[in-house]
Amino acid sequence: MQPLERDATVALARCGGYDRDEVDAAVRRAVDLLGGIGRFVSPEQKVLLKPNLLQGQEPERCVTTHPTVVAAVARLLVEHGCQVIIGDSPGAGIVYSEANLRRAYTRARYTAVAEETGATLNYDTSYQTVSYPPGEVMKQFSIITPAIEADAIVVVSKAKTHMWTRMTGATKNLFGLIPGLEKSVFHFRFQDEYAFGEMLIDLNECMKPRLQVVDAVMAMEGDGPQAGSPRKIGVILAGSEPAAVDTVLARLIGMEPLEIGSIRSAAGRGLIDPATVRTVGDDPAEFVVPDFQKPSTYTRGRTGVWRRVTTAITQGFGKTYAPRPGVIREVCIGCGKCERICPMHAVTVTEGRAAIDLSRCIRCYCCHEICTEHAIALSRSLAGRLLAHLLG
Ligand code: SF4
Ligand code: SF4
């Protein structure tokens, strides 16, 4: 199949809830507005359908892509004659094993999606090295095998806030192609959110997903991607250019697109221009949520001169400014996931409880993201609260 021409068009289709017929209609409409599924994949192609599985949570919590949206995209592909494999490497800090995949699929209700649509769930936990010589910050990636073996990748992501990257939608979703514990290496290497965004663009350019569908029916606000709260946006987004799709999503949740590292990287490389992203379908203005709650790590307005000033301050004061992770001992069950994911080896679990050595901590919040018990709290010191207040 020919490479897709770059197209910063983003389709919006209203979707008020997770009723199967309504979701099916919205997904089909969004894809049709872009030219139809045949523009992105061909019959008989093997397609990896890449959801946001994280560790697999009940759909109502809005951590994972909702199963009705995954099913709607799977049905569209199956009807087109594609062989569909649903696959992801769920969450950093999680061993990429068949048992963990099985548990995650069941909790996210993707097992039922596969039974209902004829898609296959991936249990192959091997991965391979993929070279990408043009990469600006990464020249090769370890990638899970089903993504390498697929003829095409279709991403079906969840609209959420993110403590580290501010927002996760289309572009960040592809980070799940990095196998299990290898993800934490990236947090060690790319300790600035904008450098991390450059890596995400290299990854997307390397793997070139054909189509993006975002479940923004019920999003997550607050301290996402794991510990935030559901919030309705009521729309399905679709497009082929991940940073363009994220640009529209950022505006719906009250963020300036260029303050998202991956969008800024894509714009810096000339892949998109946020000012000229075109929308089709429903009017984006109908879905803007002005009081969408940002993550507690969020600092507004990091663009232009103000961005340089605030970046200098936040980097200069580093650990003073950033919220500190702390373990709520009564809630911690000692599962050790935070210890395994921490790129700085700042967490140790002894006598069934985790403890964090803040002198080693780089505030990447991987431990917060991975803890399904909500046993990691974030708080600022008095000086940090003062800085945050001054920076708005
Ligand atoms: S803090 Fe959370 S992830 Fe870490 S050991 Fe305790 S329960 Fe597990
Ligand atoms: S303890 Fe600090 S460095 Fe380790 S995962 Fe948590 S936030 Fe990241």
Choose the most confident range, by mean pLDDT, from 55-64, 263-272, 313-322.
263-272
* Ligand 1 close to Cβ of residue 333 (< 6 A): yes
Q: Mean pLDDT throughout 361-382? A: 85
CATH architecture entry for 312-391: 2-Layer Sandwich (3.30)
User: What HEC string does the chain produce?
Assistant: CCCCCCCCEEEEEECCCCCHHHHHHHHHHHHHHCCCHHHCCCCCCEEEEEECCCCCCCHHHCCCCCHHHHHHHHHHHHHCCCEEEECCCCCCCCCCCHHHHHHHHHHHCHHHHHHHHCCEECCCCCEEEEECCCCCCCCEEEEEHHHHHCCEEEEEEEEEEECCCEEECHHHHHHHHCCHHHHHHHHHHCCCHHHHHHHHHHHHHHHCCCEEEEEEEEEEECCCCCCCEEEEEEEEEEECCHHHHHHHHHHHCCCCHHHCHHHHHHHHCCCCCHHHCEEEECCHHHHCCCCCCCCCCCCCCCCHHHHHHHHHHHHHHHHHHCCEEEECCCCCCCCCHHHHHCCCCCEEEECCEEEECCCCCCCCCHHHHHCCCCCEEEECCHHHHHHHHHHC
> Which pLDDT belongs to residue 38?
98
Q: Which ligand sits closest to the CA of 372?
A: 1
Pocket probe for ligand 1: among 371, 374, 378, the residue whose CB has the most ligand atoms within 8 Å is 371
CATH 3.40.605.10 at 9-287, yes or no:
no
* Ligand 1 close to Cβ of residue 352 (< 6 A): no
Pocket probe for ligand 1: among 54, 333, 353, the residue whose CB has the most ligand atoms within 8 Å is 333
Where exactly does CATH 3.30.70.20 map onto the chain? 312-391
Where exactly does CATH 3.40.50.11440 map onto the chain? 9-287
Q: How does residue 362 score in pLDDT terms, banded at 50, 70 and 90?
A: confident
Percent of the chain at pLDDT exceeding 70: 91
Going by alpha carbons, the residue nearest to atom 3 of ligand 2 is 361
Q: Mean pLDDT throughout 83-91? A: 91
pLDDT above 90 for 50 = yes
What digits encode the pLDDT tens for the residues 150-205? 999 999 999 999 988 999 999 999 999 999 878 877 877 887 888 999 999 999 99
